[in-house]
Structure 1
């Protein structure tokens, strides 16, 4: 099974930067026309806009569960500078636990994977699935839970 949210992540990134540019141009125009109070309000609006995207933590996610391996690639969809790519890959038989943490009425979701190692269990950092369609999140959960049920 392969799931990829590249198009949706690109859409979030474009929306973020487009709205940010509009707010910045608006703030600049307000300063130029000596409307300092309104300019400061627009800077506050930008701060809230940035905070929302920071908290939502939209990420590009590619999930594969095939050929005896589980692979999860991800990076922040909205970041300044070059995105930092991360990858989780391990044999299917090493998976021990899967945690889905949902918040904001299921709109935001984080995935945490626990695998067996030679020294015990290791927990990978949480991956935000907020930018992944709800149906695809369900497919990921079903795939991982099926895998766990076959291993136990």
Structure 2
């Protein structure tokens, strides 16, 4: 089973962001999206989460650290502006030292996407590396989306993928 996750919160600004309310803090039933995600990961059996922070890092950190997540350990990685503006791959690079080098799999979760908790449980239960997608974006102007266009169309489910090594 997978026990670690990277929550990618260091990302380029969008039209839904503003200086005091980044999209990761949009509230659903009074709770920020990122808090829903962390609670879902804890419920799925994840024991360690690394969150990469970029725009509005201090605001996100304050919200995240104010909560209790039971047995879940939350570590923060503060990304330089030049890094997080490059896209989601920079989140993985920024957090790589937080994960062991023994090829232990971990989930990568976007901090501003809504995930069904059952999907998190299902994905965390797999012993292999996974590709989990919920809501793909197909904006040709967004360079991060170019990867989606080159890959088979994602579906809202968990898929096993070959692990690099």
Give the TM-score, by structure 1 length.
0.25
Larger RCO (alpha carbons 8 Å, 6+ apart) = 2
Task: Point out the structure with the larger strand share.
Answer: 1
Task: Point out the structure with the larger helix share.
Answer: 1
Give the TM-score, by structure 2 length.
0.24
Whose radius of gyration is greater, 1 or 2? 1
